[in-house]
């Protein structure tokens, strides 16, 4: 999916919601556990209930690969039922030497090889350009590069300053723009650090940000939008647990729909207020 199509979907749905399919077998409603493929049945119900309110789905690959071949089968079936107009993110956080990254790219982007045809993959930038560029060899596919994350340990490395007294996360933002433009690269920027969005937006004015941390991790949608929106919206706000685990009962899909619609309605108001619809 190219950038123009993504923006078109955002405006059509009045939403920039990404739903994380962090589907944990240990948290599934008990009535699904007797199904042949509980993970897929859960995802199917969530997608059917929420697809009208979101523009992206983000399966966290760890939840699937931890189950071995059955997990990969569940992920494949899940991908096959996601509507074509919804942006898909393989939240894999890959990043290795070039020939290995090329195989990771093939795994998530080359349907003929692996069966998967994600629109994007999250990539760790620590090993530099040759670990990222293999993902950029596929047309209309995106790299979503980790820049400033929302986890507690982010400060261990991401704020270390270089010789120009620039923190590492800023170096990631500036250097990576030599590898791809805003039509092929997004950045992960955590919602728990909204005070940094204004400066990050100056460094990458046209890029989309994938923003985890709203909801369960305490991030504020209003604060993120205040500093992070641009004239093309430029944000994909991810929500996982708040939506998919809104209920653990028979009504789990219905409750997920309620939570997704609630977020979409908040986003519609923000878009209207900023004249972005």
Q: CA neighbours within 13 Å on the CB side: how many for 161? A: 4
Q: Is 143 helix (H, G, I), strand (E, B) or coil?
A: strand
H/E stretch holding 13: helix 3-13
d(CA 175, CA 213): 25
**In angstroms, rounded to a whole number, what is the distance separating the alpha carbons of residues 87 and 57?**
6
3-state secondary structure of 56: strand
How wide is the angle at C-alpha 86 spanned by C-alphas 18 and 30, nearest 5°? 60
User: What DSSP element (H or E) covers 145?
Assistant: strand 142-148
Catalytic pick among 44, 77, 93, 255: 93
Per-residue DSSP letter, 177: T
Q: Is 93 a catalytic residue?
A: yes
| Cα–Cα distance list, 136 to 29, 93, 102, 120, 220 (Å) | 39, 15, 10, 10, 32
Would you please indicate which residues are annotated as catalytic (active-site) residues? 93
């Amino acid at each position: 999916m190219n950038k123009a199509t993504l923006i078109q979907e955002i405006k059509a749905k009045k939403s920039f919601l990404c739903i994380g399919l962090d589907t944990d077998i240990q948290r599934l409603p008990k009535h699904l556990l007797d199904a042949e493929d509980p993970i897929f049945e859960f995802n199917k119900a969530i997608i059917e209930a929420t697809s009208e309110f979101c523009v992206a789905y983000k399966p966290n690959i760890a939840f699937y690969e931890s189950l071995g071949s059955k997990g990969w089968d569940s992920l494949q079936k899940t991908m096959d039922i996601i509507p074509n107009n919804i942006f898909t993110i393989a939240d894999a956080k890959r990043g290795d030497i070039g020939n290995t990254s090329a195989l990771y790219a093939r795994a998530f982007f080359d349907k003929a090889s692996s069966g998967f045809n994600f629109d994007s993959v999250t990539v760790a930038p620590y090993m530099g350009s040759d670990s990222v560029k293999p993902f950029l060899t596929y047309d209309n596919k995106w790299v979503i590069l980790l820049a400033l994350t929302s986890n507690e340990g982010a400060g261990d490395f991401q704020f270390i300053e270089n010789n120009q007294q620039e923190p590492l996360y800023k170096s990631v933002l500036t250097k990576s723009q030599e590898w791809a433009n805003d039509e092929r690269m997004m950045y992960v920027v955590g919602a728990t650090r909204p005070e940094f969005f204004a400066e990050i937006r100056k460094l990458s004015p046209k890029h989309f940000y994938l923003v985890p941390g709203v909801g369960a991790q305490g991030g504020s949608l209003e604060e993120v939008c205040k500093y992070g929106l641009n004239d093309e919206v430029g944000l994909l706000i991810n929500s996982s647990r708040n939506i998919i685990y809104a209920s653990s009962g028979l009504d789990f899909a219905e409750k997920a729909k309620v939570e997704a619609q609630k977020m979409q309605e908040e986003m519609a108001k923000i878009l209207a207020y900023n004249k972005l619809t």
